[in-house]
Amino acid sequence: MNPLAGWLRNGFFCAVFLLGSAAGLTREAVPSLYPSQSASCALPEYRQFDFWLGDWDAFDVDNPSVKVARNQVDRILGGCVLLENYQGTNGSQGQSFSIYDASRGVWHQSWVTNRGQLLVIEGKFQGGQMVLSGVDRTSDGKERHVRGTWKLASRGVRETAVTSTDGGKTWQPWFDMMFRSHNPNELEPHFTRFSASPYSDCLMRIP
């Protein structure tokens, strides 16, 4: 093959590859290229919570130097569901399952723990943040309203929760948590998965 023609062909495919990757390259979009995505979950609304995907260390906002948990959030079931796996440094463990319910146009999350707790909250992505709310009961049986908010923040994701025991008339802080990447260079290992690709040289040129 003519060397110039070969160079032009490879350059064309590099450009197509990089443009296709960049189109969906959010902070944790690279891993999503591997699991197949269900056609049933192709609506853009299913991607509204993707900013929470990642391997995180969790810190209280008021005490940002002390790690309180490791929290891993992954896509499962063909990209339809976000699975959260929370491992607290105090021995607490929890998992949540989040999904967009297209039939009602709402996000649903079920949270369960190793301490027998269950919380079901629902809501929408609005104003650049995910806002989910629901009702559970306190240890003495009182009805309690809960509202959680997730949003992008400096160098991570911030999750804030408030509660109300008077039907939503007044609200009290529950927790305010900051998620920061467990591996600040987390995108770099993902690129190594393309090392066998004929276009791996293209990835090496990404700044």
Residue pair 179/56 in contact (Cβ under 8 Å)? The answer is: yes
β-bridge mates for residue 134, sequence order: 146
Name the one residue in this structure whose structure tokens are 């998992």. 95
Residue 157's SS3 state is: strand
β-bridge mates for residue 118, sequence order: 112
Q: What is the pLDDT of residues 50-67, one digit of tens each?
A: 999 999 999 999 999 999
- Output the pLDDT for position 19: 41
When mean pLDDT is compared across 27-31, 47-51, 132-136, 162-166, the lowest value belongs to 27-31
Name the one residue in this structure whose structure tokens are 């609005």. 126
Query: Percent of the chain having pLDDT more than 90?
Result: 66
Tell me the pLDDT of the chain averaged across its residues.
Answer: 80
State mean pLDDT over 131-160. 94
Name the one residue in this structure whose structure tokens are 């948590």. 177
- Output the pLDDT for position 135: 96
Eight-class DSSP state of 171: -
Name the one residue in this structure whose structure tokens are 């021995």. 91
Dist CA 131 CA 144 (whole Å): 17
State mean pLDDT over 96-106. 97
Q: Looking at the predicted structure, is the pLDDT value of residue 9 above 70?
A: no
Q: Which residues contact 178 (CB under 8 A, 6 or more apart)?
A: 58, 59, 60, 61, 64, 153, 156, 157, 158, 159
Eight-class DSSP state of 187: H
Task: Assign domain 29-185 to its CATH superfamily.
Answer: Calycin beta-barrel core domain (2.40.128.20)
Phi and psi torsions of 112, nearest 5°: -135, 155
Dist CA 192 CA 109 (whole Å): 33
List the chain domain ranges: 29-185
- Pairing of the two strands 63-76 and 106-113: unpaired
β-bridge mates for residue 107, sequence order: 100, 123
Residue among 98, 22, 70, 87 nearest 179 (CA)? 70
